[in-house]
Amino acid sequence: MNIFTPHLFRQQFPLIESHDNSLIENDALTPSLVYFDNAATTQKPQRVIDCQQHYYQNINANVHRASHQLSSKATFAFEKARSLVQGFIGANSVKEIIWTKGATESINIIVQSLARNTLVPGDEIALCVSEHHANIVPWQIVAEQTGAVIKVIPITEQGYLDLDQVDNIICERTKFVACAHISNVLGRINPIEQLIAKAKSVGAITVIDGSQAVVHLSVDVKSLDCDFYVFSAHKMYGPTGIGVLYGKRELLESMPPYQAGGEMIKTVSFTQGTTFNSLPFKFEAGTPNIVGVIAFAESINFLAPFLADVLNAYSLFEQKLVHHCYQALANIEQVNFIVEGIPDIGVIAFTLTDHHNHDIAMALDTQGIAVRSGHHCAMPLMTYLHTDGCLRVSLSAYNTITEIDYFIHSLKNILLEESLNQPDKRVSEEVISEPSVKELEEIIAIFTSTKGWDSRHREIMLLGKKLPRLDKALRNEDTVISGCESLAWLKAESSTQGIYSFTGDSDAKIIRGLLVIVFAAFNNKTAQHIHQFNINDYFETLGLMQHLSPSRGNGVLAIVEKIKALAQQ
Protein backbone atom coordinates (compact mmCIF):
# COMPACT_ATOMS: atom_id res chain seq x y z
CA MET A 1 0.00 0.00 0.00
CA ASN A 2 2.15 2.86 -1.25
CA ILE A 3 -0.56 5.29 -2.27
CA PHE A 4 -2.18 6.90 0.72
CA THR A 5 -5.85 6.07 1.03
CA PRO A 6 -7.36 7.09 4.37
CA HIS A 7 -9.48 4.01 5.09
CA LEU A 8 -6.80 1.58 3.92
CA PHE A 9 -4.25 3.38 6.04
CA ARG A 10 -6.50 3.18 9.08
CA GLN A 11 -7.06 -0.53 8.52
CA GLN A 12 -3.37 -1.16 9.14
CA PHE A 13 -3.73 -0.26 12.82
CA PRO A 14 -5.29 -3.11 14.79
CA LEU A 15 -5.73 -1.18 18.05
CA ILE A 16 -7.63 1.53 16.20
CA GLU A 17 -9.59 -0.88 14.06
CA SER A 18 -10.58 -3.07 16.99
CA HIS A 19 -12.66 -0.22 18.38
CA ASP A 20 -15.49 0.00 15.95
CA ASN A 21 -15.93 3.70 15.38
CA SER A 22 -18.43 3.19 12.59
CA LEU A 23 -20.90 3.19 15.46
CA ILE A 24 -20.41 6.92 15.79
CA GLU A 25 -22.05 7.41 12.44
CA ASN A 26 -25.21 5.70 13.63
CA ASP A 27 -25.03 7.51 16.94
CA ALA A 28 -25.85 4.12 18.41
CA LEU A 29 -23.16 3.72 21.00
CA THR A 30 -20.24 5.56 22.47
CA PRO A 31 -17.18 4.42 20.54
CA SER A 32 -14.69 2.73 22.77
CA LEU A 33 -11.75 4.73 21.46
CA VAL A 34 -11.08 7.93 19.60
CA TYR A 35 -7.33 8.28 19.89
CA PHE A 36 -6.24 11.91 19.68
CA ASP A 37 -2.98 11.63 21.62
CA ASN A 38 -0.70 10.92 18.70
CA ALA A 39 1.92 13.51 19.63
CA ALA A 40 2.54 11.46 22.79
CA THR A 41 2.88 8.23 20.84
CA THR A 42 1.32 6.82 17.70
CA GLN A 43 -0.38 3.46 17.36
CA LYS A 44 1.48 0.70 15.53
CA PRO A 45 0.56 -0.86 12.20
CA GLN A 46 0.12 -4.64 12.03
CA ARG A 47 3.31 -5.09 10.03
CA VAL A 48 5.39 -3.48 12.79
CA ILE A 49 3.74 -5.69 15.40
CA ASP A 50 4.27 -8.78 13.19
CA CYS A 51 7.85 -7.81 12.55
CA GLN A 52 8.65 -7.88 16.27
CA GLN A 53 7.11 -11.30 16.64
CA HIS A 54 8.83 -12.59 13.50
CA TYR A 55 12.17 -11.41 14.81
CA TYR A 56 11.81 -13.29 18.10
CA GLN A 57 10.48 -16.40 16.40
CA ASN A 58 13.04 -16.56 13.61
CA ILE A 59 16.07 -14.36 14.03
CA ASN A 60 16.69 -13.74 17.71
CA ALA A 61 20.41 -13.63 18.54
CA ASN A 62 22.81 -11.04 19.87
CA VAL A 63 24.36 -8.77 17.26
CA HIS A 64 27.98 -8.25 16.26
CA ARG A 65 29.28 -10.79 18.75
CA ALA A 66 28.87 -14.42 17.80
CA SER A 67 30.34 -16.34 14.90
CA HIS A 68 27.20 -18.26 14.14
CA GLN A 69 24.62 -17.89 11.41
CA LEU A 70 21.77 -16.71 13.59
CA SER A 71 23.83 -13.86 14.94
CA SER A 72 24.90 -12.95 11.40
CA LYS A 73 21.26 -12.87 10.37
CA ALA A 74 20.35 -10.62 13.32
CA THR A 75 23.37 -8.39 12.68
CA PHE A 76 22.49 -8.11 9.00
CA ALA A 77 18.91 -7.02 9.77
CA PHE A 78 20.16 -4.66 12.49
CA GLU A 79 22.69 -2.92 10.26
CA LYS A 80 20.30 -2.87 7.30
CA ALA A 81 17.97 -0.84 9.54
CA ARG A 82 20.78 1.64 10.14
CA SER A 83 21.26 2.10 6.38
CA LEU A 84 17.54 2.60 6.03
CA VAL A 85 17.54 5.40 8.63
CA GLN A 86 20.57 6.93 6.92
CA GLY A 87 18.64 7.09 3.67
CA PHE A 88 15.43 8.19 5.40
CA ILE A 89 17.01 11.37 6.78
CA GLY A 90 19.62 11.84 4.03
CA ALA A 91 22.70 11.37 6.21
CA ASN A 92 26.10 10.97 4.59
CA SER A 93 27.09 7.78 6.31
CA VAL A 94 25.78 4.96 8.50
CA LYS A 95 28.48 6.01 10.95
CA GLU A 96 26.38 9.08 11.64
CA ILE A 97 23.39 7.05 12.83
CA ILE A 98 23.55 6.11 16.52
CA TRP A 99 20.82 3.98 18.09
CA THR A 100 19.51 5.38 21.36
CA LYS A 101 16.47 4.83 23.58
CA GLY A 102 14.85 7.83 21.96
CA ALA A 103 15.10 11.58 21.48
CA THR A 104 15.66 12.18 25.19
CA GLU A 105 18.68 9.92 25.37
CA SER A 106 20.02 11.34 22.10
CA ILE A 107 19.98 14.86 23.55
CA ASN A 108 21.60 13.69 26.76
CA ILE A 109 24.43 12.08 24.80
CA ILE A 110 25.13 15.31 22.92
CA VAL A 111 24.98 17.32 26.11
CA GLN A 112 27.08 15.09 28.36
CA SER A 113 29.58 13.89 25.79
CA LEU A 114 30.09 17.08 23.80
CA ALA A 115 28.70 20.13 25.59
CA ARG A 116 30.01 19.16 29.02
CA ASN A 117 33.52 18.75 27.65
CA THR A 118 33.60 21.94 25.62
CA LEU A 119 31.57 24.60 27.42
CA VAL A 120 33.37 27.06 29.68
CA PRO A 121 31.94 29.65 32.08
CA GLY A 122 30.20 32.46 30.22
CA ASP A 123 29.51 30.40 27.10
CA GLU A 124 25.89 30.51 26.00
CA ILE A 125 23.33 27.93 24.99
CA ALA A 126 20.32 29.21 23.03
CA LEU A 127 17.01 27.35 23.42
CA CYS A 128 13.51 28.20 22.29
CA VAL A 129 10.95 28.87 25.02
CA SER A 130 8.62 26.23 23.54
CA GLU A 131 11.06 23.33 23.92
CA HIS A 132 10.05 20.02 25.42
CA HIS A 133 11.67 19.40 28.84
CA ALA A 134 13.86 16.81 27.11
CA ASN A 135 15.51 19.69 25.27
CA ILE A 136 15.72 21.98 28.30
CA VAL A 137 16.67 20.04 31.40
CA PRO A 138 19.81 18.34 30.00
CA TRP A 139 21.03 21.83 29.04
CA GLN A 140 20.23 23.21 32.47
CA ILE A 141 22.26 20.43 34.03
CA VAL A 142 25.24 21.07 31.78
CA ALA A 143 24.98 24.82 32.34
CA GLU A 144 25.24 24.10 36.06
CA GLN A 145 28.19 21.77 35.50
CA THR A 146 30.17 24.16 33.30
CA GLY A 147 29.11 27.68 34.21
CA ALA A 148 27.50 28.20 30.81
CA VAL A 149 24.40 30.37 30.54
CA ILE A 150 21.05 29.54 28.89
CA LYS A 151 19.49 32.17 26.65
CA VAL A 152 15.83 31.76 25.75
CA ILE A 153 14.47 32.55 22.29
CA PRO A 154 10.83 33.71 22.48
CA ILE A 155 8.02 32.77 20.09
CA THR A 156 5.76 34.91 17.93
CA GLU A 157 2.01 35.33 18.51
CA GLN A 158 1.54 32.48 16.05
CA GLY A 159 3.84 30.21 18.04
CA TYR A 160 6.87 30.20 15.75
CA LEU A 161 10.38 30.64 17.01
CA ASP A 162 10.85 34.42 16.79
CA LEU A 163 13.54 35.01 14.18
CA ASP A 164 13.58 38.76 14.91
CA GLN A 165 14.81 37.97 18.41
CA VAL A 166 17.33 35.39 17.25
CA ASP A 167 19.69 38.09 16.04
CA ASN A 168 19.74 39.62 19.53
CA ILE A 169 20.24 36.32 21.29
CA ILE A 170 22.66 34.32 19.16
CA CYS A 171 26.10 35.89 19.30
CA GLU A 172 29.80 35.04 19.46
CA ARG A 173 29.32 33.60 22.96
CA THR A 174 26.69 31.12 21.73
CA LYS A 175 28.16 27.64 21.53
CA PHE A 176 25.02 25.52 21.17
CA VAL A 177 21.62 26.25 19.64
CA ALA A 178 18.95 23.64 20.37
CA CYS A 179 15.44 23.82 18.98
CA ALA A 180 12.50 21.60 18.07
CA HIS A 181 11.75 21.25 14.37
CA ILE A 182 8.08 21.19 15.44
CA SER A 183 6.85 22.00 18.95
CA ASN A 184 4.83 19.24 20.61
CA VAL A 185 2.33 21.84 21.88
CA LEU A 186 2.17 24.51 19.20
CA GLY A 187 2.25 22.32 16.10
CA ARG A 188 4.35 24.93 14.31
CA ILE A 189 7.11 24.05 11.85
CA ASN A 190 9.88 26.27 13.14
CA PRO A 191 12.06 28.20 10.66
CA ILE A 192 15.03 26.03 11.55
CA GLU A 193 16.85 26.67 8.26
CA GLN A 194 17.29 30.33 9.22
CA LEU A 195 18.10 29.41 12.80
CA ILE A 196 20.78 26.96 11.67
CA ALA A 197 22.24 29.56 9.29
CA LYS A 198 22.42 32.10 12.11
CA ALA A 199 24.02 29.57 14.47
CA LYS A 200 26.59 28.66 11.84
CA SER A 201 27.46 32.30 11.30
CA VAL A 202 28.76 32.45 14.89
CA GLY A 203 30.20 28.93 14.87
CA ALA A 204 27.59 27.46 17.23
CA ILE A 205 26.62 23.79 17.12
CA THR A 206 23.00 23.08 16.20
CA VAL A 207 20.82 20.42 17.80
CA ILE A 208 17.43 19.88 16.17
CA ASP A 209 14.79 17.92 18.04
CA GLY A 210 12.85 16.20 15.26
CA SER A 211 10.57 14.16 17.57
CA GLN A 212 7.36 15.68 16.22
CA ALA A 213 8.58 16.28 12.67
CA VAL A 214 9.68 12.95 11.23
CA VAL A 215 6.15 11.53 11.03
CA HIS A 216 4.86 14.55 9.11
CA LEU A 217 7.71 15.86 6.96
CA SER A 218 10.48 14.56 4.75
CA VAL A 219 13.65 15.47 6.56
CA ASP A 220 17.02 15.88 4.89
CA VAL A 221 19.76 16.53 7.39
CA LYS A 222 22.28 17.33 4.66
CA SER A 223 20.22 20.12 3.19
CA LEU A 224 19.28 21.37 6.68
CA ASP A 225 22.98 21.29 7.50
CA CYS A 226 22.31 20.85 11.20
CA ASP A 227 25.01 19.26 13.35
CA PHE A 228 22.64 16.94 15.22
CA TYR A 229 19.09 15.73 14.58
CA VAL A 230 17.27 13.50 17.08
CA PHE A 231 14.01 11.56 17.06
CA SER A 232 12.11 8.60 18.54
CA ALA A 233 10.58 5.67 16.67
CA HIS A 234 7.41 5.53 18.73
CA LYS A 235 6.07 8.80 17.36
CA MET A 236 6.35 7.52 13.79
CA TYR A 237 4.43 4.23 14.04
CA GLY A 238 7.45 2.39 15.40
CA PRO A 239 8.16 0.73 18.75
CA THR A 240 8.95 2.45 22.05
CA GLY A 241 12.45 2.46 23.54
CA ILE A 242 14.33 3.09 20.31
CA GLY A 243 15.41 6.27 18.61
CA VAL A 244 18.16 7.98 16.68
CA LEU A 245 20.97 10.36 17.28
CA TYR A 246 22.15 11.71 13.95
CA GLY A 247 25.39 13.67 14.19
CA LYS A 248 27.93 14.97 11.72
CA ARG A 249 30.73 12.49 11.60
CA GLU A 250 33.56 14.84 12.58
CA LEU A 251 31.66 15.91 15.68
CA LEU A 252 30.79 12.36 16.69
CA GLU A 253 34.43 11.37 16.15
CA SER A 254 35.51 14.14 18.50
CA MET A 255 33.16 13.05 21.29
CA PRO A 256 34.11 10.58 24.04
CA PRO A 257 31.78 7.62 24.73
CA TYR A 258 28.68 8.41 26.76
CA GLN A 259 28.39 5.00 28.37
CA ALA A 260 30.93 2.21 28.67
CA GLY A 261 30.61 -1.55 28.45
CA GLY A 262 30.49 -4.15 25.72
CA GLU A 263 30.32 -3.25 22.02
CA MET A 264 31.77 0.24 22.42
CA ILE A 265 35.36 -1.01 22.89
CA LYS A 266 38.11 -2.09 20.53
CA THR A 267 40.48 -3.52 23.15
CA VAL A 268 40.31 -3.73 26.93
CA SER A 269 43.36 -4.24 29.07
CA PHE A 270 44.30 -3.66 32.70
CA THR A 271 47.86 -2.86 31.66
CA GLN A 272 47.66 -1.34 28.19
CA GLY A 273 44.54 0.78 28.69
CA THR A 274 41.27 0.47 26.83
CA THR A 275 40.59 1.66 23.30
CA PHE A 276 37.20 2.49 21.91
CA ASN A 277 35.33 1.16 18.92
CA SER A 278 34.78 3.28 15.84
CA LEU A 279 31.51 5.01 14.96
CA PRO A 280 28.69 4.31 15.40
CA PHE A 281 29.48 1.55 17.93
CA LYS A 282 31.45 3.86 20.21
CA PHE A 283 28.10 5.19 21.45
CA GLU A 284 26.27 1.87 21.65
CA ALA A 285 27.41 0.23 24.87
CA GLY A 286 25.72 -3.03 25.85
CA THR A 287 23.23 -5.20 24.02
CA PRO A 288 21.08 -2.82 22.01
CA ASN A 289 17.33 -2.89 21.52
CA ILE A 290 17.70 -5.22 18.55
CA VAL A 291 14.04 -6.02 18.04
CA GLY A 292 13.25 -2.34 18.42
CA VAL A 293 15.71 -1.42 15.69
CA ILE A 294 14.33 -4.03 13.31
CA ALA A 295 10.70 -3.10 13.95
CA PHE A 296 11.66 0.57 13.63
CA ALA A 297 12.94 -0.19 10.13
CA GLU A 298 9.57 -1.74 9.37
CA SER A 299 7.80 1.43 10.49
CA ILE A 300 10.06 3.49 8.23
CA ASN A 301 9.32 1.17 5.33
CA PHE A 302 5.65 1.75 6.10
CA LEU A 303 5.85 5.54 6.44
CA ALA A 304 8.53 6.61 3.96
CA PRO A 305 6.50 6.04 0.76
CA PHE A 306 3.73 8.32 2.07
CA LEU A 307 6.18 11.08 2.85
CA ALA A 308 7.89 10.67 -0.52
CA ASP A 309 4.64 10.65 -2.52
CA VAL A 310 4.73 13.52 -5.03
CA LEU A 311 0.96 13.87 -4.81
CA ASN A 312 1.28 14.52 -1.09
CA ALA A 313 -1.93 12.61 -0.34
CA TYR A 314 -0.82 11.72 3.20
CA SER A 315 0.07 15.30 4.18
CA LEU A 316 -2.99 16.72 2.45
CA PHE A 317 -5.23 14.37 4.40
CA GLU A 318 -3.52 15.36 7.65
CA GLN A 319 -4.11 19.00 6.69
CA LYS A 320 -7.76 18.30 6.00
CA LEU A 321 -8.16 16.82 9.50
CA VAL A 322 -6.38 19.76 11.15
CA HIS A 323 -8.45 22.36 9.33
CA HIS A 324 -11.70 20.58 10.10
CA CYS A 325 -10.87 20.20 13.78
CA TYR A 326 -9.51 23.72 14.16
CA GLN A 327 -12.53 25.35 12.49
CA ALA A 328 -14.97 23.33 14.56
CA LEU A 329 -13.15 24.25 17.77
CA ALA A 330 -13.01 27.90 16.70
CA ASN A 331 -16.81 27.87 16.57
CA ILE A 332 -17.05 26.98 20.25
CA GLU A 333 -17.29 30.16 22.30
CA GLN A 334 -15.29 28.94 25.29
CA VAL A 335 -12.31 27.74 23.23
CA ASN A 336 -9.14 29.82 23.49
CA PHE A 337 -6.31 28.63 21.24
CA ILE A 338 -3.02 29.08 22.99
CA VAL A 339 -1.47 30.74 19.94
CA GLU A 340 -2.95 32.40 16.86
CA GLY A 341 -3.78 30.58 13.65
CA ILE A 342 -4.24 27.07 12.30
CA PRO A 343 -1.34 24.83 13.31
CA ASP A 344 0.96 23.48 10.58
CA ILE A 345 0.48 19.88 11.70
CA GLY A 346 -2.24 18.08 13.63
CA VAL A 347 -1.39 19.41 17.08
CA ILE A 348 -4.04 21.79 18.41
CA ALA A 349 -3.70 23.23 21.91
CA PHE A 350 -6.35 25.25 23.68
CA THR A 351 -7.93 26.13 26.99
CA LEU A 352 -11.63 26.51 27.80
CA THR A 353 -12.98 29.53 29.61
CA ASP A 354 -14.15 28.60 33.12
CA HIS A 355 -13.13 24.96 32.79
CA HIS A 356 -10.04 23.21 33.96
CA ASN A 357 -8.28 21.27 31.23
CA HIS A 358 -8.05 18.13 33.41
CA ASP A 359 -11.77 18.13 34.03
CA ILE A 360 -12.50 18.33 30.32
CA ALA A 361 -9.95 15.64 29.43
CA MET A 362 -11.41 13.28 32.02
CA ALA A 363 -14.94 13.98 30.85
CA LEU A 364 -13.89 13.32 27.24
CA ASP A 365 -12.29 10.08 28.39
CA THR A 366 -15.64 8.88 29.66
CA GLN A 367 -16.81 9.31 26.06
CA GLY A 368 -13.91 7.20 24.80
CA ILE A 369 -11.91 10.19 23.57
CA ALA A 370 -8.21 10.21 24.45
CA VAL A 371 -6.74 13.71 24.52
CA ARG A 372 -3.92 15.07 26.62
CA SER A 373 -4.19 17.78 29.25
CA GLY A 374 -1.59 19.51 31.36
CA HIS A 375 1.74 21.14 30.62
CA HIS A 376 2.81 18.63 27.95
CA CYS A 377 6.38 18.57 29.26
CA ALA A 378 6.69 22.23 28.30
CA MET A 379 6.30 24.08 31.60
CA PRO A 380 8.37 27.11 30.52
CA LEU A 381 6.07 27.52 27.53
CA MET A 382 3.01 27.39 29.82
CA THR A 383 4.56 30.08 32.03
CA TYR A 384 5.36 32.16 28.93
CA LEU A 385 1.75 31.87 27.78
CA HIS A 386 0.45 32.63 31.31
CA THR A 387 -1.38 29.36 31.66
CA ASP A 388 -0.84 26.39 33.94
CA GLY A 389 -1.85 23.92 31.27
CA CYS A 390 -4.00 23.27 28.26
CA LEU A 391 -5.76 20.58 26.29
CA ARG A 392 -4.01 19.11 23.30
CA VAL A 393 -5.67 17.27 20.45
CA SER A 394 -3.05 15.56 18.31
CA LEU A 395 -4.15 13.89 15.13
CA SER A 396 -2.76 11.16 12.92
CA ALA A 397 -3.59 10.16 9.37
CA TYR A 398 -5.57 7.19 10.72
CA ASN A 399 -8.05 9.55 12.39
CA THR A 400 -11.21 10.52 10.59
CA ILE A 401 -13.51 13.49 10.09
CA THR A 402 -16.24 11.46 11.77
CA GLU A 403 -14.09 11.07 14.87
CA ILE A 404 -13.46 14.81 14.94
CA ASP A 405 -17.19 15.51 14.63
CA TYR A 406 -17.87 13.10 17.46
CA PHE A 407 -15.22 14.80 19.60
CA ILE A 408 -16.68 18.24 18.93
CA HIS A 409 -20.19 17.00 19.66
CA SER A 410 -19.01 15.43 22.94
CA LEU A 411 -17.05 18.52 23.93
CA LYS A 412 -20.09 20.74 23.37
CA ASN A 413 -22.21 18.39 25.46
CA ILE A 414 -19.68 18.39 28.26
CA LEU A 415 -19.57 22.16 28.25
CA LEU A 416 -23.31 22.28 28.41
CA GLU A 417 -23.58 19.75 31.16
CA GLU A 418 -24.84 21.18 34.37
CA SER A 419 -22.43 19.26 36.49
CA LEU A 420 -19.50 21.07 34.94
CA ASN A 421 -21.10 24.38 34.17
CA GLN A 422 -23.06 25.52 37.18
CA PRO A 423 -23.48 24.43 40.74
CA ASP A 424 -25.90 21.54 40.70
CA LYS A 425 -28.98 22.31 42.81
CA ARG A 426 -29.30 18.82 44.20
CA VAL A 427 -25.65 18.74 45.09
CA SER A 428 -25.59 22.14 46.75
CA GLU A 429 -28.41 21.00 49.03
CA GLU A 430 -26.39 17.92 49.85
CA VAL A 431 -23.42 20.07 50.70
CA ILE A 432 -25.41 21.60 53.48
CA SER A 433 -27.05 18.43 54.73
CA GLU A 434 -24.22 15.93 54.26
CA PRO A 435 -20.82 15.91 55.89
CA SER A 436 -18.07 16.37 53.31
CA VAL A 437 -15.71 13.99 55.01
CA LYS A 438 -16.31 10.49 53.74
CA GLU A 439 -15.47 7.30 55.51
CA LEU A 440 -13.53 4.66 53.70
CA GLU A 441 -16.42 2.21 53.81
CA GLU A 442 -18.74 4.82 52.35
CA ILE A 443 -16.39 5.47 49.42
CA ILE A 444 -15.97 1.76 48.79
CA ALA A 445 -19.76 1.30 48.91
CA ILE A 446 -20.29 4.10 46.37
CA PHE A 447 -17.78 2.82 43.87
CA THR A 448 -18.43 -0.89 44.17
CA SER A 449 -22.10 -0.30 43.46
CA THR A 450 -21.33 1.96 40.49
CA LYS A 451 -20.64 0.39 37.14
CA GLY A 452 -18.84 1.87 34.17
CA TRP A 453 -16.30 4.68 33.88
CA ASP A 454 -18.91 7.24 32.94
CA SER A 455 -20.83 6.71 36.20
CA ARG A 456 -17.71 6.45 38.33
CA HIS A 457 -16.41 9.66 36.81
CA ARG A 458 -19.70 11.34 37.70
CA GLU A 459 -19.38 10.12 41.29
CA ILE A 460 -15.87 11.54 41.54
CA MET A 461 -17.13 14.89 40.27
CA LEU A 462 -19.99 14.83 42.81
CA LEU A 463 -17.57 14.07 45.62
CA GLY A 464 -15.39 16.95 44.45
CA LYS A 465 -18.28 19.33 44.81
CA LYS A 466 -18.66 18.34 48.44
CA LEU A 467 -15.11 19.18 49.36
CA PRO A 468 -15.07 22.51 51.20
CA ARG A 469 -12.79 24.99 49.44
CA LEU A 470 -9.58 25.77 51.23
CA ASP A 471 -9.17 29.34 52.37
CA LYS A 472 -7.20 31.27 49.72
CA ALA A 473 -4.56 32.18 52.30
CA LEU A 474 -3.90 28.49 52.83
CA ARG A 475 -3.18 27.89 49.15
CA ASN A 476 0.47 28.70 49.32
CA GLU A 477 4.01 27.40 48.79
CA ASP A 478 3.80 25.25 51.92
CA THR A 479 0.58 23.52 51.01
CA VAL A 480 1.03 23.14 47.25
CA ILE A 481 1.32 19.58 45.99
CA SER A 482 4.27 19.50 43.65
CA GLY A 483 4.23 17.04 40.78
CA CYS A 484 0.48 17.13 40.36
CA GLU A 485 -0.28 18.54 36.91
CA SER A 486 -3.13 20.70 38.23
CA LEU A 487 -2.69 23.13 41.03
CA ALA A 488 -3.57 21.36 44.29
CA TRP A 489 -2.97 22.08 47.96
CA LEU A 490 -2.89 19.93 51.04
CA LYS A 491 -2.90 20.76 54.72
CA ALA A 492 -2.34 18.32 57.57
CA GLU A 493 -3.16 18.51 61.24
CA SER A 494 -2.30 15.98 63.89
CA SER A 495 -3.74 15.42 67.35
CA THR A 496 -1.67 14.84 70.46
CA GLN A 497 -2.42 11.13 69.99
CA GLY A 498 -0.75 11.28 66.59
CA ILE A 499 -3.97 11.04 64.59
CA TYR A 500 -3.84 12.89 61.29
CA SER A 501 -6.52 14.78 59.44
CA PHE A 502 -6.15 16.34 56.02
CA THR A 503 -7.86 19.11 54.11
CA GLY A 504 -7.12 20.16 50.59
CA ASP A 505 -8.21 21.86 47.42
CA SER A 506 -7.48 22.02 43.72
CA ASP A 507 -8.36 24.18 40.76
CA ALA A 508 -9.53 21.02 38.94
CA LYS A 509 -12.85 19.51 40.00
CA ILE A 510 -11.65 16.02 39.25
CA ILE A 511 -8.71 16.46 41.64
CA ARG A 512 -11.07 17.72 44.34
CA GLY A 513 -13.03 14.50 43.92
CA LEU A 514 -9.86 12.46 44.11
CA LEU A 515 -8.85 14.33 47.25
CA VAL A 516 -12.09 13.23 48.93
CA ILE A 517 -11.41 9.61 47.90
CA VAL A 518 -7.82 9.75 49.12
CA PHE A 519 -8.73 11.55 52.36
CA ALA A 520 -11.23 8.80 53.18
CA ALA A 521 -8.30 6.41 53.30
CA PHE A 522 -5.94 8.59 55.30
CA ASN A 523 -8.02 10.82 57.56
CA ASN A 524 -8.14 9.97 61.27
CA LYS A 525 -5.29 7.51 60.91
CA THR A 526 -1.88 7.23 62.50
CA ALA A 527 1.34 7.82 60.59
CA GLN A 528 2.02 4.10 60.69
CA HIS A 529 -1.31 3.29 59.09
CA ILE A 530 -0.78 6.02 56.50
CA HIS A 531 2.61 4.67 55.50
CA GLN A 532 1.38 1.09 55.29
CA PHE A 533 -1.71 1.87 53.24
CA ASN A 534 -1.56 0.53 49.69
CA ILE A 535 -3.16 3.07 47.37
CA ASN A 536 -3.04 0.73 44.37
CA ASP A 537 -5.09 -1.94 46.16
CA TYR A 538 -7.56 0.75 47.20
CA PHE A 539 -7.98 2.02 43.64
CA GLU A 540 -8.33 -1.56 42.45
CA THR A 541 -11.14 -2.13 44.98
CA LEU A 542 -12.86 1.04 43.82
CA GLY A 543 -12.71 -0.11 40.20
CA LEU A 544 -10.69 2.97 39.32
CA MET A 545 -7.36 1.36 38.53
CA GLN A 546 -8.11 1.02 34.84
CA HIS A 547 -8.99 4.67 34.50
CA LEU A 548 -7.01 6.45 37.15
CA SER A 549 -4.18 4.17 38.21
CA PRO A 550 -2.34 6.32 40.74
CA SER A 551 0.19 8.43 38.88
CA ARG A 552 1.65 11.87 39.09
CA GLY A 553 -0.11 12.76 35.86
CA ASN A 554 -3.58 12.45 37.38
CA GLY A 555 -2.35 13.79 40.70
CA VAL A 556 -3.15 10.78 42.89
CA LEU A 557 0.44 9.76 43.46
CA ALA A 558 1.54 13.32 44.16
CA ILE A 559 -1.28 13.69 46.72
CA VAL A 560 -0.39 10.41 48.41
CA GLU A 561 3.33 11.25 48.45
CA LYS A 562 2.61 14.58 50.12
CA ILE A 563 0.30 12.94 52.69
CA LYS A 564 3.01 10.41 53.52
CA ALA A 565 5.65 13.10 53.75
CA LEU A 566 3.46 15.10 56.15
CA ALA A 567 2.66 12.07 58.31
CA GLN A 568 5.99 11.66 60.05
CA GLN A 569 6.46 8.39 61.91
For residues 205 and 227, the answer to whether their CB atoms sit within 8 Å is: yes
Which positions ≥6 away from 355 have C-beta within 8 Å?
334, 415, 420
Strand residues in 104-204 grouped as ranges (E): 124-128, 149-153, 174-180
The C-alpha angle with vertex 264 and arms to 258 and 266, in degrees rounded to 5, equals: 135
DSSP 446-466: HHHT--SHHHHHHHHHHHHHH
CB of residue 5 vs ligand PMP: minimum separation in angstroms?
28
b/e map of 427-441 (b: 16 or more CB within 10 Å)? beeeeeeeeebbebe
Q: Give the separation between CA 395 and CA 348, rounded to whole angstroms.
A: 9
Q: Give the separation between CA 479 and CA 206, rounded to whole angstroms.
A: 41
Measured CA to CA in angstroms, residue 375 lies from 349, 391, 512 at distances of: 10, 9, 19
- The candidate with the shortest Cα–Cα distance to 330, out of 398, 322, 345, 356, is 322
User: SS3 for 198?
Assistant: helix
For residues 409 and 368, the answer to whether their CB atoms sit within 8 Å is: no
Measured CA to CA in angstroms, residue 548 lies from 15, 177, 188, 544 at distances of: 21, 39, 31, 6
Phi/psi for 554 (5° steps) reads -90, 0
One of 51, 377, 390, 484 is an active-site residue; which one?
377
DSSP state of 56: I
Closest CB to ligand PMP among residues 503, 554: 554
Q: Give the separation between CA 419 and CA 457, rounded to whole angstroms.
A: 11
DSSP 311-361: T-HHHHHHHHHHHHHHHHHHTSTTEEESSSS--SSSEEEEEETTB-HHHHH
CB of residue 520 vs ligand PMP: minimum separation in angstroms?
35
DSSP 482-500: TT-SS-EEEEEEE-TT-EE
377 is catalytic: yes
Measured CA to CA in angstroms, residue 535 lies from 358, 457, 493, 532, 563 at distances of: 21, 18, 21, 9, 12
Q: Largest Cα–Cα distance of the chain, in whole Å?
A: 82
Strand-strand pairing, 124-128 and 174-180: parallel
Binding stretches for ligand PMP (CB under 6 A):
102-104, 132, 134-135, 180, 184, 209, 211-212, 232, 377
Residues annotated as catalytic (active site), given as ranges: 377
